[in-house]
Amino acid sequence: MRTLYLLRHAKSSWKDEALPDFERPLAGRGREACDAIARHIQSEKFEFDLTISSTAVRARETIELIRQRAKLRTELRFDERIYEASASRLFEIASQIESDRKSVLMVGHNPGFEEFVEAVTGETKRLPTGALVKIKLKITKWSDPFERDGTLEWIVRPKDLEHS
C-alpha cells in the first residue's frame, strides 16, 4: 500500500503581466491558503516520506511556506518535469520514486493534476489552487502500474478550511 498526496500550488499573482508563467509568484490569497493548508496538515499530523515539487516559482513558494509553517521534516526534491506535466508524465515521475517511500506529496499544476487524478482513480474532480488530495494505491512499489487502481480518499480545498 502506498499513499500519494497531490497539492496544487496556491493562487498565483498576475500583477506583473510581463512575467513569464513559470516566474509568477504567489498572490496574497495564495499565501493565506498556504497557512490554512499548513494548519490542516499539522493538525491531522500528516507525514510524508518524500515531497517532490515543480520548479515553478509559485509551486516552490507554496511548498516552502507549507513546509515551514507545518514544521514538515519531509525530504524535498524539485523536479522540472512536473511543470506543465501531462498525466502520463506524472505517472513516469511517480514510477521513479524509491520503493522505501510509502507516503509521498507531489506539488504541481493543472490541468495535469486533474487528468492524473482521473487516470489514477477514475474520478473527475476539480482541483482549485491550493487543493490537497489524498489517494490510496494498492501497490507494493512505485514502479508497479497503478492506473485506474487508486482510491480517492478526500480533497481538501483552502475554502473548506476558512472557518476551522
Domains of the chain: 2-161 (3.40.50.1240)
Which residue has 473527475 as its cell numbers? 124
pLDDT of residue 158: 94
- Whole-prediction pTM value? 0.96
Q: Residue 92 and residue 112: Cα distance in Å, rounded?
A: 13
Q: Residue 49 and residue 3: Cα distance in Å, rounded?
A: 10
pLDDT digits (tens, 9 = 90+) for 52-71: 999 999 999 999 999 999 99
Listed as ranges, residues in the chain with pLDDT below 50 are: none
pLDDT of residue 151: 97
pLDDT of residue 90: 98
pLDDT of residue 51: 98
pLDDT of residue 112: 98
pLDDT of residue 29: 95
pLDDT of residue 162: 73
Q: Residue 8 and residue 130: Cα distance in Å, rounded?
A: 5
DSSP string of the chain, one letter each residue: -EEEEEEEPPPBP-S-TTS-GGG--B-HHHHHHHHHHHHHHHHTT---SEEEE--SHHHHHHHHHHHHHTT---EEEE-GGGTT--HHHHHHHHHTS-TT--EEEEEE-TTHHHHHHHHHHS------TT-EEEEEE--SSTTS--TT-EEEEEEE-GGGGTT-
pLDDT of residue 163: 58
